[in-house]
Chains A and B, each alone.
Chain A
Amino acid sequence: MSDSEEENFCYFGKPLEPYDEDAFPKKKPISVEDQIATDAQGRRRFHGAFTGGFSAGFFNTVGSLEGWTPREFKSTRSDKAQSKAQRPEDFMDDEDMGEFGIAPQTVRATSDYSTSKKRKKQVFSDGPIPGEPVLHSLLTSGNETIGYLLLKNIGLKNRAHAQVEDLAREDKVYGCEMPKTYEISRDDDVIQYPIPDIYREFLQKPKDNSFGLGYVGLDKTHVNLFQSSKLVIRDRNKKKVSISGQAFGVGAFEDDDEDIYVKDDMTKYDFELTSEKASQKELLSKKEKTIFDDFIHGKQPLALKENFPPPTIPHSFTGKHKVKRSRFEPLPEPETPERKDMNPEIRARYLGEETTPVVTVTNTTVEKIKEEPEPSPKKSFDLFAVSSSNLVFDRFVAASTPEDPSNILEVVPPTETEHGTQEMRDAARMKMFGPLTRISVDWQPCTLLCKRFNVPEPHCELNESKNRKRTKNLIFEYEKFSDVSLDFKPGLSTKQEEEVETETSNTVTEGTTEETQEKSDKEETTKVEESVNETPKDITEKIDVNKNLDLFKAVFLSSSESEDEEENEKEKVEKSTEMKSSVLSDSLLPRIKPIKEGILSNMDFSIFEPSNGRGEKAEDIQTENSTNSEPQKGELSYGPALPTNLASSSSGALSKSLPKYKNDDSDEWVEKSGDDKKSKHKKKHKKEHKKSSHKKKHKHKDR
Chain B
Amino acid sequence: MDLSCLNTIDCQQGAVRAVRFNVDGSYCMTCGSDKKLKLWNPYRSLLLKTYGGHGNEVLDACGSCDSSQIVSCSSDKSAIVWDVSTGQPLRRLRGHAASVTCVKFNEESSVAVTGSLDNTVMCWDVKSRNTSPIQTLKEAKDCITSVQVTDHEILTGSVDCSVRRYDLRNGSCHADFVGAAITSVSFSHDGQCILVGSADSTVRLLDKNSGELLGEYVGHKTQDMNIESGIITSDNHVLSGSVTGELFCWDLVGGNVVKKYTHTSKKVLNSISIHPTQDIVLTASVQTIKVWGKAENAPENVVNV
Contact = CB atoms under 8 A, between A and B. Distances in A.
Interface string A71-110: 0000000000100000000000000000000000000000
- Range, interface on chain A: 35 or more
14 contacts: A424-B179, A429-B179, A431-B216, A438-B210, A439-B177, A440-B172, A441-B172, A443-B139, A444-B171, A449-B111, A449-B135, A452-B127, A453-B106, A455-B169
Interface SS of B by simple majority:
loop
Given A428-B178, A455-B151, A455-B152, 8 more contacts: A419-B177, A429-B179, A431-B213, A440-B174, A443-B173, A449-B135, A452-B110, A458-B169
Contacts of A424: 177, 179
Nearest to A82: B88
A456 interface: yes
Interface string B197-221: 0000000101000111100100000
B151 to A, nearest CB: 7
A43 B176 CA distance: 81
A425 interface: yes
Nearest to A454: B108
A437 B135 contact: no
A249 B146 CA distance: 109
Contacts of B152: 453, 455
Interface stretch (B12-20, B95-103, B160-168): B160-168
A206 interface: no
Contact of B171 (A439, A443, A448, A453): A443
B175 interface: yes
A458 B168 CA distance: 7
A437 B171 contact: no
A417 B158 CA distance: 13
Interface in A404-451: 417, 419-420, 424-425, 427-429, 431, 433-435, 437-446, 448-450
A441 B172 CA distance: 6
B162 A445 contact: no
Given A449-B111, A453-B168, A419 B162 contact: yes
A454 B111 CA distance: 11
A52 B168 CA distance: 63
Interface string A446-472: 101110111111110000000000000
A419 B172 contact: no
B161 A452 contact: no
A419 B161 contact: yes
Contacts of A455: 151-152, 168-169
Given A81-B90, A434-B212, A442-B171, A453 B177 contact: no
Nearest to A430: B179
A445 B125 CA distance: 13
B173 A435 contact: no
A435 to B, nearest CB: 7
A441 B211 contact: no
Contacts of A449: 111, 123, 134-135, 168
Contacts of A420: 160-162, 177, 179
A433 B134 contact: no
Interface string B107-139: 110110000000000010101000000110101
A434 B125 CA distance: 34
B125 A452 contact: yes
A299 B187 CA distance: 101
A81 to B, nearest CB: 5
Given A417-B142, A437-B176, A443-B172, A452 B134 contact: yes
Contacts of A439: 162, 174-175, 177
A428 B171 contact: no
Contacts of B166: 443, 445
A446 B168 CA distance: 9
B141 interface: yes
B93 to A, nearest CB: 14
Given A435-B211, A459-B171, A428 B179 contact: yes
B211 A438 contact: yes
A429 B127 CA distance: 44
A602 B204 CA distance: 55
Of listed B159, B206, B211, residue having the most chain A CB within 10 A? B211
